[in-house]
């Protein structure tokens, strides 16, 4: 059977080019690390609603989580990182964003609540 120009047979593909295969020399995913950072950001963000000093910590952890997750997802889409951790990285990015949001609420609302409590007769 003659092949058309530009057409590749499945037998001609390298093992890592097969559907669902991953190159063995790509970077490992950081799903677990990002999961811990995202959970820490979310925990600090929620607790910052009651304990103001945790707001900057939650904010910093959330920003770091989001930046690293975006970088990892880009590498996964380009085939330079193991894509098996994609779902975990997305969950970590989501937790990081929620941690940022809660930390910002705690950072801006915390002083208002503190002032109101101090001015109470």
Whether residue 13 has pLDDT greater than 80: no
| Cβ proximity of 29 and 82 under 8 Å | yes
Alpha carbon distance 120, 117 (integer Å): 5
Structure token pair of residue 103 = 């930390």
- Give the pair of three-digit tokens for residue 32: 């677990």
Separation CA 59–CA 55 (nearest Å): 6
User: pLDDT per residue over 96-109, tens digit each?
Assistant: 999 999 999 999 88
Between the alpha carbon of residue 110 and those of residues 10, 23, 56, 101, 115, the distances in Å are: 61, 49, 12, 14, 9
Domain ranges in the chain are: 29-119
Q: Model's pTM, two decimal places?
A: 0.74
Mean pLDDT, the chain, whole residue set: 83
């Amino acid at each position: 059977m003659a092949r058309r120009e530009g057409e590749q047979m499945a037998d001609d593909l390298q093992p890592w080019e097969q559907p669902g295969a991953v190159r063995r020399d790509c970077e490992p995913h950081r799903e677990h690390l990002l999961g811990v950072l995202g959970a820490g950001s979310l925990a600090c963000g929620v607790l910052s609603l009651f304990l103001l000093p945790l707001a900057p910590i939650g904010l910093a952890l959330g920003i770091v989580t989001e930046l690293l997750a975006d970088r990892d997802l880009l590498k996964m889409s380009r085939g330079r990182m193991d894509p098996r951790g994609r779902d975990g990285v997305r969950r970590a990015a989501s937790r990081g964003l929620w941690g940022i949001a809660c930390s910002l609420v705690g950072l801006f609302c915390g002083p208002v609540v503190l002032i109101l409590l101090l001015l109470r007769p």
